[in-house]
Structure formats: structure tokens, C-alpha cells
């Protein structure tokens, strides 16, 4: 449903506090309603109850008027597209709206010709076909995936106020991933005791490759071939991809063709000239794998305008690559005071979590913020704290607090630049 729909956002405090009693009352009304004779009621000619509906089809479709779309990047041709965070409910991203990021386009790989080579410091170098992978016991992991460059446009002092949550943080999606644990394959080939690193390489034109600590491979890593109940989609790595819950997106190598076991990182282009974090002292931080705690308010946000004063529900998403979100706070005065938001179940580790907070707008200018804390105790930093630690040249892991301005007219704009 479109989050700009006023009934979804505005509600009375009485309605908020009496939800449970309303449910009970609805049950009682339903009992009495069943006893009413409706045979004499007049049904309008255009009422859907007056004619049979359409028959079943091979593929479902979205409801009329519901048209969420990914937003391709400005480059031509684009190498990314963003998920419409402000138009989605719950935590699962529909597979066709999952963000894209690739370095050499989306390759066409036939499933019957797919092969994954696992070699290097192993006792039994092995080539696995897709059928081989599917023969192993499968597991599923519900987790987010985020590009490490997500939100880097907000690091500037003057980001556009006319930015939607999709434009700001749309390189984030959550899916149920299904596949074989990488640890199963590593045990199958017999990793040697002195090994400590893996090299994962993709089968696209860019041959993207990343070094991964062996410990992560033996922990919760997957070779995933399923996504949200279907085969992994081509732009998400079909026939199979590496999935590393909680780690920056580019380490989750798509179209996985090779895993080499070694005793040191390979120092590929993607972990030397790119995907490193410059620091304020002139050095750089390498191998910044885990995505830090982060949150964003998705309602109210640009381009919405609050039509009147009163109680409104502030809604958003929070996530952390280090575990569960334990707390989200919301501020309406630019960070001078904070109030706890309600976390919506389920609250899962390394997964997006929905939060909600009832806020009374009195018609004056307001600056809305959200701040997440994860189970390690890490607290999402303010913009000046992050830039002060990283320096002005940082472009990855931009997890600072986001800010929305509600003007006296009710119009909502992105206000990062006003408070930076």
C-alpha cells in the first residue's frame, strides 16, 4: 500500500490505546452479523459481488493502483537499482523489487551448465553442479542485504532535500535465502588445518572477487540458490550466489563460480582500490565486513505532506549486521530529546526490524530522527561523529542518523544538510 495514504499514517490516541478492546468488539459484532438475513439487500450493478471474478492464472499480479518500482541509478547504463523502502510493508522485500548492484551487467547462465569449483588448500578439490548443491541438506536464513555504499550521498553537507527513502537508502533489501551451508561444502572437500581465508569469485563479466575469512565461511555463510520461495533471480546471482548474513553487499559474490581456500587474503581490486574506508588520520580501514547498526524513518518522508495536526505514527526500518536490534529511539526536535519506539515483531538477528512511534504534531517545524541500538550495545552515530572519525573522504558504511524536516505547512523534506 502507498505509504502516502493518510489513513495509514494518522490515527487517534484513543484508537492507539484501545486496539485490543476493538478486536474483541469486532468479534462480538461479527457474531451478531452472522445472524442477519442479507437475502433482501440490493446490490449495485457495478458491485463486485454482482458478477463472477476472473479465474485463476499461472502468475499472480499486484493489485490495481499498487505499482512499486525499483529506481535505476543515474548512470547510462546503470549498475544499480534501489528498492522502494517507503512503499513496502513488513520486512520481506518482494524478489522483483530487491535492489540490484553489479559491476559487469547481469550474465545469462544456464542451470544445466553451472559449476562451482572449490579448490586450493583442500584435500579433495571438487566441482559442484547445481544438482549437487541441491542434494545437500538445505537451510534458510531471513536476513538483510545492503550495499556498503548505501546512503553515501548523505555524507555531503548539501544532499538534496527532495530525496525519498528509496533514493537515500534503497540499496537495502530483506529476503529469505535458501541454500547449502558453505561449511558443508568445506567439510566435503577437507579444508587443511593451516587455511584461514577464502577467495570467492563470480562468473560475471567483471569476475568480481573478494577475500573472506574462513571463520565466516564456517559460521553462517550460504551458497544460496533460492530466494523468497523461488529460485534466486538472475540479477541476484542465479543459479547460485554466496550469501554472508550481515556483511557488506559486495562480499556476497553473485553467480558464484569459484572458491579458493588459502592462508591469506588475495588483495583483489575490490578490497584494495575500492571498498576500503578512509579515516581522518590519513590511513584507511580495510575489510570492513559487518554493516553497523542503522535506521531510517520511512513515514513521514519526502514527498509526503501531513494534511493536519494531531497524532501520527512515525514508521521506519532498523538493522544491524552484528545481531538483533534492541532499541530504536525517535526524536522530533533534532536530537535534543529522544523517546523509545515500539519494535514490531519479528525481531531477528541480522535482519531488518520495523519500528513505530506515536507522535503528536502541533503544527510547528519539527526535525524527525531515528537512532538504533543493537545487541552489542553499538549506538547509531550522529553525522558529525561519523564524519569526524572517518574524515571528509569517506564513502562507505554511511550509517549515521538521518533527519527529516516537517515544515509548518506539513511538507516533509530530507534535512541532513540543514543540521550537518
CB 139, CB 131: distance < 8 Å:
no
> Which residues on neighbouring strands pair with residue 404, listed in sequence order?
368, 414
Q: What is the pLDDT of residue 20?
A: 41
Does residue 252 form part of some domain? Answer: yes
Q: Are residues 150 and 262 in the same domain?
A: yes
User: d(Cα 180, Cα 116) in Å, to the nearest integer?
Assistant: 13
Does residue 14 form part of some domain? Answer: no
DSSP string, 36-89: S--TT----TTSGGGS--PPP-SS--PPTT-----EE-SSSS-SEEE--GGG--
Q: What is the pLDDT of residue 42?
A: 62
Does residue 200 form part of some domain? Answer: yes
Residue 145 has pLDDT above 70, yes or no: yes
Q: Are residues 113 and 245 in the same domain?
A: yes
**Final residue in a domain of this structure, among 224, 251, 285:** 285
**Final residue in a domain of this structure, among 233, 250, 285:** 285
Q: What is the pLDDT of residues 72-108, one digit of tens each?
A: 998 888 899 999 999 999 999 999 999 999 999 999 9
Q: Are residues 303 and 281 in the same domain?
A: no
User: d(Cα 392, Cα 156) in Å, to the nearest integer?
Assistant: 8
Bond before 77 cis per omega within 30 degrees = yes
Q: Are residues 195 and 226 in the same domain?
A: yes
269: domain range? 71-285
What is the number of structural domains in the chain? 2
Q: What is the pLDDT of residues 401-410, one digit of tens each?
A: 999 999 999 9
More confident: 187 or 37: 187
Please, which pLDDT band fits residue 10 given cuts at 50, 70 and 90?
A: low
**Final residue in a domain of this structure, among 224, 255, 285:** 285
According to DSSP, the β-strands at 256-262 and 115-120 are parallel
Closest CA to 315 of 374, 372, 358: 358
Alpha-carbon separation of residue 81 from 38, 122, 239 (angstroms): 50, 38, 20
Q: Find how far residue 404's CA is from the centre of its chain.
A: 20
Q: What is the pLDDT of residue 30?
A: 40
Please, which pLDDT band fits residue 49 given cuts at 50, 70 and 90?
A: confident
Q: Are residues 215 and 312 in the same domain?
A: no
Q: Are residues 247 and 333 in the same domain?
A: no
List b or e across 251-282, with b for residues whose CB sees 16 or more CB atoms inside 10 angstroms: bbbbbbbbbbbbeebbebebbeeebbbbeeee
User: d(Cα 387, Cα 408) in Å, to the nearest integer?
Assistant: 30
Does residue 47 form part of some domain? Answer: no
Closest CA to 225 of 327, 131, 337, 347: 131
Burial of 375 (0-12, 13-18, 19+ CB in 10 A): middle
DSSP string, 331-352: ESBTTSS-EEPEEESP--TTS-
Alpha-carbon separation of residue 236 from 77, 101, 267, 395 (angstroms): 18, 9, 24, 24
Q: How many residues does the chain have?
A: 420
Does residue 52 form part of some domain? Answer: no
CATH of the domain at 304: 2.60.40.650
User: d(Cα 40, Cα 19) in Å, to the nearest integer?
Assistant: 34
Does residue 40 form part of some domain? Answer: no
Q: Are residues 300 and 281 in the same domain?
A: no
DSSP class of 23: H
User: d(Cα 353, Cα 323) in Å, to the nearest integer?
Assistant: 11
Q: What is the mean pLDDT of the chain?
A: 90
Q: Are residues 127 and 169 in the same domain?
A: yes
Q: Are residues 386 and 329 in the same domain?
A: yes
CB 211, CB 279: distance < 8 Å:
no
Please, which pLDDT band fits residue 179 given cuts at 50, 70 and 90?
A: very high
Q: Are residues 212 and 308 in the same domain?
A: no
Q: Are residues 243 and 315 in the same domain?
A: no
Does residue 55 form part of some domain? Answer: no
Does residue 225 form part of some domain? Answer: yes
CATH of the domain at 159: 3.90.420.10
> Which residues on neighbouring strands pair with residue 127, listed in sequence order?
117
Taking phi over 0 as left and psi of -120 to 50 as alpha, with beta for the rest, 388 belongs to: alpha
Q: Are residues 231 and 126 in the same domain?
A: yes
pTM of the model: 0.88
Amino acid at each position: 500500500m502507498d505509504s502516502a495514504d493518510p489513513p495509514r499514517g494518522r490515527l487517534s490516541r484513543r484508537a492507539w490505546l484501545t486496539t485490543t478492546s476493538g478486536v474483541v468488539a469486532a468479534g462480538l459484532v461479527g457474531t451478531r452479523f452472522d445472524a442477519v438475513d442479507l437475502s433482501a439487500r440490493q446490490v449495485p450493478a457495478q458491485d463486485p459481488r454482482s458478477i463472477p471474478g476472473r479465474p485463476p492464472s499461472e502468475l499472480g499480479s499486484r493489485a490495481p493502483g499498487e505499482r512499486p518500482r525499483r529506481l535505476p541509478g543515474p548512470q547510462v547504463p546503470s549498475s544499480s537499482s534501489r528498492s522502494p523502502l517507503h512503499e513496502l510493508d513488513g520486512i520481506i522485500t518482494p524478489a522483483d523489487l530487491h535492489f540490484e548492484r553489479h559491476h559487469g551487467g547481469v550474465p545469462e547462465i544456464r542451470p544445466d551448465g553451472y559449476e562451482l569449483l572449490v579448490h586450493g588448500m583442500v584435500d579433495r578439490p571438487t566441482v559442484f553442479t547445481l544438482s549437487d548443491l541441491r542434494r545437500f541438506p538445505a537451510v534458510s536464513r531471513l536476513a538483510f542485504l545492503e550495499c556498503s555504499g548505501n546512503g553515501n550521498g548523505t555524507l555531503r553537507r548539501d544532499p538534496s532535500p527532495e530525496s525519498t527513502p528509496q533514493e537515500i537508502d534503497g540499496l537495502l533489501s530483506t529476503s529469505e535465502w535458501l541454500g547449502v551451508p558453505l561449511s558443508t561444502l568445506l567439510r566435503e572437500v577437507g579444508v587443511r588445518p593451516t587455511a584461514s581465508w577464502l577467495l570467492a569469485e563470480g562468473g560475471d563479466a567483471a569476475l568480481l572477487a573478494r577475500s573472506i575469512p574462513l571463520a565466516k565461511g564456517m559460521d553462517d555463510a550460504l551458497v544460496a540458490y533460492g530466494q523468497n520461495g523461488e529460485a534466486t533471480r538472475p540479477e541476484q546471482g542465479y543459479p547460485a550466489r554466496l550469501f554472508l548474513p550481515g556483511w557488506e553487499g559486495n562480499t556476497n559474490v553473485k553467480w558464484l563460480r569459484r572458491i579458493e581456500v588459502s592462508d591469506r587474503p588475495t588483495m583483489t581490486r575490490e578490497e584494495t582500490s575500492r571498498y576500503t574506508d578512509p579515516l581522518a588520520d590519513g590511513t584507511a580501514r580495510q575489510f570492513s565486513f559487518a554493516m553497523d547498526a542503522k535506521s531510517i524513518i520511512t513515514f513521514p518522508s519526502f514527498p509526503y505532506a501531513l494534511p493536519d495536526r494531531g497524532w501520527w505514527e512515525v514508521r521506519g526500518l532498523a538493522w544491524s549486521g552484528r545481531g538483533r536490534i534492541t532499541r530504536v529511539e525517535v526524536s522530533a526536535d533534532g536530537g535534543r530529546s529522544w523517546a523509545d519506539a515500539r519494535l514490531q515483531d519479528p525481531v531477528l538477528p541480522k535482519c531488518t526490524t520495523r519500528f513505530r512511534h506515536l507522535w503528536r504534531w502541533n503544527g510547528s517545524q519539527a526535525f524527525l530522527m531515528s537512532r538504533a541500538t543493537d545487541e552489542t550495545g553499538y549506538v547509531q552515530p550522529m553525522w558529525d561523529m561519523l564524519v569526524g572519525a572517518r574524515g571528509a573522504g569517506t564513502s562507505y558504511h554511511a550509517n549515521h542518523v538521518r533527519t527529516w524536516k516537517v515544515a509548518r505547512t506539513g511538507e516533509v523534506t530530507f534535512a541532513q544538510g540543514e543540521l550537518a
